[in-house]
Amino acid sequence: MEKLNDTYLKVHSYESGGTVDGPGIRFVVFTQGCPLRCQYCHNPDTWDAKGGQIKTAKEVVAEVLKYKKFMEFSGGGVTFSGGEPLMQKTSLLPIFKALKRQKVHIALDTAGTTNIDETTLNLLDLTDMVLLDVKHLDDTAHKKLTGLTNERTLDFLNVLRDKNIRTWVRWVVVPNINDSAEYGEKIAGFIKQYPNVELVELLPYHRSGVFKWKELGIEYPLENVPEPTKEAIKELAGILEKQGIKTLYAK
Ligand code: SF4
């Protein structure tokens, strides 16, 4: 308990009743700070690690536990999202331990942008499932899209396979960047190497966060990129399904 009082987590916000960040009804903790700069980010207000509200681990655990009954009833749990939650993995460790003791289902929504050290491995031992954002398989395109290499994400996915952790891969489909049929085939071939990946979730790029870029005074790089159509998403999902990969997307 002592550790929970002495550990601090920078939180951007909480969301109760979430239904899009993992199975069942979820309580979502959006952590503050992200090392990536995705061109389509709809939460650029989570980027600055100096921002957010400082909470003790005890406060975070207490907040999550308020919703335990709803989570259990729906087969849900808590999802740690961001930002990049792994930026604060040392703080997350005692939080995950406390929540596991209470038998709360824990999902981690991450781009895997961290080094694989003991803290990462210990945290994963307490994680029931991972929602892994694979932004682009081509490293040059990944760097252009996010500002960083995809090496850490792919290393992270290898660890998830080694530990056999239930994983949903998330693919934010951005027109002209990663929405070709050829790219779909590439994703399918890649995912087949990972038996721990239960499904690929296709998330259409959307422009709902553009106003936040304007508020922060940052130029939005995808100004002329349209949102993909439902048909386009369905076609890409079809490519994966043909190869035996389960998909999830808004119909
Ligand atoms: S990883 Fe998520 S929070 Fe970070 S820049 Fe990309 S979309 Fe935004």
For 12-41, the pLDDT digits (tens) are: 999 998 888 899 999 999 999 999 999 999
Domains of the chain by residue range: 2-248
CA 1 to chain centre: 28
| Residue minimizing CA distance to atom 2 of ligand 1 | 83
Cβ neighbours around 211 below 10 Å, total: 11
Can you read off the two tokens belonging to residue 148?
A: 């960083």
3-class SS of residue 209: coil
| Ligand 1 surroundings by CB, under 6 angstroms | 34, 36-38, 41, 43, 46, 82-84, 111
How far away, in angstroms, is 2 Cα from ligand 1 center? 32
Can you read off the two tokens belonging to residue 120?
A: 């990462």
* Identity of the amino acid at 45: D
How far away, in angstroms, is 157 Cα from ligand 1 center? 17
3-class SS of residue 237: helix
CATH 3.20.20.220 fits 2-248, yes or no: no
How far away, in angstroms, is 7 Cα from ligand 1 center? 24
Which of 11, 34, 149 best tests ligand 1's pocket when mutated (most atoms within 8 Å of CB)? 34
Residue 217 DSSP symbol? T
For 96-138, the pLDDT digits (tens) are: 999 999 999 999 999 999 999 999 999 999 999 999 999 999 9
